[in-house]
C-alpha cells in the first residue's frame, strides 16, 4: 500500500457515506477534497446549514475510522458551497501504512 492507495481508500470510504462531490486532484494525492452545494442557495450565494452539518458528520466518521493521519483539516463555506479539505500527514501516514502491513502479517501467523 502507498500513500496514493490510502488516499483512494479514504476517498472511496467518503464516497460511500455522503452525497458530497469528490473534488480531489489526484496529482496531489495527499490532499483530499469534497464539496457540495446540494442545500445551498445559488441565487443568494449562501451555503446550506445541512451541507455544513454533512461535512462535519463526514469529518467525524473519517477521524473515527482513520485516526489522526491528517496534518490539516478544514470545513469552509464559500458562497453556496461547503468545502471539506483534508491534507494527509505524510510522515504519519507512512508509519500508519507500515503498522497496517505488520498487523496484516501478524494476523496470518
Tell me the backbone φ, ψ of residue 87, rounded to 5 degrees. Answer: -110, 125
Confidence grade of residue 99 (pLDDT, cut at 50, 70, 90) = confident
Backbone angles phi, psi at 86, to 5 degrees: -135, 125
Q: What gap in Å lies between CA 34 and CA 21, rounded to an integer?
A: 5
- Averaged pLDDT of the chain: 91
Greatest Cα pair distance, the chain, in angstroms, is 60
How sure is the predictor about 70, in pLDDT bands with cuts at 50, 70 and 90?
very high
- Which pTM was predicted? 0.85
**All structural domains of the chain:** 3-108 (3.30.1710)
Cβ-proximal residues to 63 (8 Å cutoff; 6+ apart), any chain = none
pLDDT band (50, 70, 90) for residue 33 = very high
Phi, psi dihedrals of residue 3, rounded to the nearest 5°: -60, -40
pLDDT at position 106:
65
Amino acid at each position: 500500500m502507498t500513500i496514493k492507495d490510502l488516499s483512494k481508500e479514504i476517498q472511496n470510504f467518503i464516497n460511500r457515506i455522503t452525497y458530497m462531490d469528490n473534488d480531489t486532484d489526484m496529482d496531489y494525492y495527499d490532499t483530499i477534497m469534497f464539496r457540495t452545494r446540494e442545500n445551498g442557495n445559488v441565487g443568494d450565494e449562501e451555503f446550506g446549514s445541512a451541507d455544513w452539518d454533512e461535512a462535519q458528520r463526514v469529518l467525524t466518521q473519517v477521524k473515527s475510522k482513520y485516526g489522526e493521519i491528517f496534518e490539516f483539516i478544514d470545513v469552509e463555506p464559500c458562497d453556496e458551497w461547503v468545502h471539506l479539505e483534508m491534507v494527509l500527514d505524510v510522515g504519519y501516514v507512512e508509519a500508519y501504512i507500515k503498522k497496517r502491513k505488520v498487523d496484516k502479517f501478524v494476523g496470518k501467523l
